[in-house]
Structure formats: structure tokens, C-alpha cells
Amino acid sequence: MGGFFGEQKNDIMELVPNGYKCKEILVKANAELSPSNLKDADLSFPLFAKPNVGERGFEVREMSEWEDLRLYATKGFDFVIQEKLDQPLELGVLFHSTAQGGNISSLCIKEFMKVKGDGLKSVNELILDHPRHRLYHASIVRDHPDVLDNIPERGEYHVVHKIGNHCKGTRFRNGNDVISKEMMDSFAKMFIQIEGVEYGRFDVKTESIQALEQGNFKVFELNGVSAEPGHIYDYKNVFFAYRDLYKHWFVLGKLAKKNIKKGVKTTPFLKFFQQIYNHFLA
């Protein structure tokens, strides 16, 4: 179904060429996990763990020590352990094939939740004082209680966490004005190596926009047809957001028609309905 929902993240990441993807391993539900598993995959703390099937940042956690990971492994679902990438810039890059080779139709710049210190108030107080950040206070208390008592210096910015998802408080910025030919060429070079994929949003980490243009980036997730163009969340007028969503749905329709003409079989309705039931209702 083109990654509409219910896809397994590790299967999709297998498609990404080795030079571009981050290191990760799959852990099956209730499987025994030992430090040797991390060593064999050349992984070390800190790490990220996330369900192998999941959306919208559900149960994505940063792990700083073995005990954190051991407890996470008791949750009863398959999950992926990924290296924590050090590059400062996180982007959502939506790329699709065209007759000319390919096009970046959306560039979303992710701005992690951060507070500005005054030398007096704690991170907890600064979050509660902020009109947007306070909406995420309960999740910060749950996921990052260790940072709440910190008191940043006056003028110092304290990043609360680095998980680039809306429900974690990350703000999505419209970066379409910096899309360049060099950037599209660097993505096309990777994209042509991914067999059978013509549309997807790549969540990547990189040092800078210039590094991205030079092909220096790491992919930590690839999302399919249900992946929205992240830049739409930066529009003040919601009608512009719906306009851009429609444009991407139109692209998906054209790609689907092209594939059907090539003989690609569509998902039978009964199977599609069963997938919906199993994913959302069962």
C-alpha cells in the first residue's frame, strides 16, 4: 500500500543505500537483549528506540543507559534501536520521481523545543511560562524529568529534547525557499538506488543546508504515501496547507496510474479493509 499505514520501519530502511542510512537493529517482541547485540551492530549509548510499527512519534524514546533499554524491551512489541546522530540539523525532505529524474516538493526544517534562560527560573518554570511549550508539559515530565530542575544561564538556550515530532513539541518550519538544484541532484543520486520507490519523505540529519546539497546526510526514517509535506504546518492560512496537500495527492495519483499501466497490481479492497481493521480496531 505504498507505506500508507502499518508498514514495518526496518523493512523500509533496508531499501535505503548503506552509505546514507543510520545504524540500527531490530529487536523482536519479548526477545532477550544483551549488550553484545549493541556491540555487534557497532551501537553505543545514547541511542533511540522506537516501535517497528508506529506513527506520530508513538513510544519514541532516547536511551542513555542499559537499564533504560532493558525496561523498554519489556513493552511487548517489536522495536528498532538506532544510533543517535550528532548532526545539528534535522529535516523532512519529500522527494518523488519525475520524467526529468526527481523533485523535492517539500523541505521541512525541524526546530526542537527549547527554552531561553533568565538565570533564575528552572526549565520546568520556563516551559510552563511559554504559551506553546506548556501544552507539552505533561509529556516532558514523563519523558525528561531529569531536565526540569536545571536553571539555564541568562540568555542561554536549553534544548529540552531532540525528537523531531509535533507531539514532542518540535516546531515544523517551511524551508522550501532554500530548495536548490544541487539539493535535488544530491537526493536523486540516492533515490535512483532505491528500487521500486517513487515517492517518500526522508527524515534526515545533516550539518547544514550546504552539506545536504553536497550529499552529506544520514537517513533515519523513510515514510511512504501517508507522509505529509511537513512545511504545511508553518502556514498561517490553513487553505494554503490544504492546497499543498492536494498537490501531493495529485502527484500520488499520477504515479499510481503510471505504475498500473506498467502492470503493477493494486491492493484488493478486501485486503485493504482488513489492514484497516487490524491496524485501527483489532
Instruction: Quote the CA–CA distance of 143 and 165 in Å, as a whole number.
Output: 14
Q: Find residue 161's DSSP bridge partners.
A: none
Shared domain check, 44 and 128: no
Does pLDDT of 56 surpass 70? no
pTM of the model: 0.87
Domain assignment present for residue 64? The answer is: yes
Domain assignment present for residue 267? The answer is: no
Domain assignment present for residue 138? The answer is: yes
Higher per-residue pLDDT: 162 or 110: 110
Does pLDDT of 35 surpass 80? yes
- Stretch 46-60: mean pLDDT, rounded? 80
Instruction: Quote the CA–CA distance of 102 and 199 in Å, as a whole number.
Output: 9
- What per-residue confidence (pLDDT) applies to 93? 96
CATH number for position 76: 3.30.1490.20
- What per-residue confidence (pLDDT) applies to 52? 82
Shared domain check, 50 and 75: yes
Cis peptide before 35 (omega within 30 of 0): no
Selection from 6-20, 57-71, 232-246 with the highest mean pLDDT: 232-246
- What per-residue confidence (pLDDT) applies to 37? 84
Q: How confident is the model at residue 218 (pLDDT cuts 50, 70, 90)?
A: very high
CATH number for position 235: 3.30.470
Domain assignment present for residue 54? The answer is: yes
Angle at the Cα of 214 from the Cα atoms of 212 and 220, rounded to 5 degrees: 40
Domain assignment present for residue 265? The answer is: no
Residue 216 Cα to chain centre, angstroms: 18
The CA–CA distances, whole Å, from 15 to 8, 10, 197, 200, 235 equal 12, 9, 9, 12, 32
For 107-157, write each residue's pLDDT tens digit. 999 998 999 999 999 999 999 999 999 999 998 898 888 889 999 999 999
Domain assignment present for residue 218? The answer is: yes
Shared domain check, 182 and 69: no
Shared domain check, 68 and 101: no
Sign of CA dihedral 51, 111, 143, 205: positive
Does pLDDT of 15 surpass 80? yes
Number of domains in the chain: 3
Q: How confident is the model at residue 40 (pLDDT cuts 50, 70, 90)?
A: confident
For 231-261, write each residue's pLDDT tens digit. 999 999 999 999 999 999 999 999 999 999 9
- What per-residue confidence (pLDDT) applies to 30? 79
Shared domain check, 214 and 120: no
Domain assignment present for residue 260? The answer is: no
- Stretch 41-57: mean pLDDT, rounded? 83
Mean pLDDT for the chain? 89
- Stretch 24-45: mean pLDDT, rounded? 86
Higher per-residue pLDDT: 164 or 29: 29
Shared domain check, 104 and 200: yes
Shared domain check, 178 and 71: no
Sign of CA dihedral 178, 182, 187, 192: positive
Domain assignment present for residue 261? The answer is: no
Domain that holds residue 41: 23-84
- What per-residue confidence (pLDDT) applies to 57? 66
- Residue (of 163, 219, 231) closest to 186 by Cα position: 219
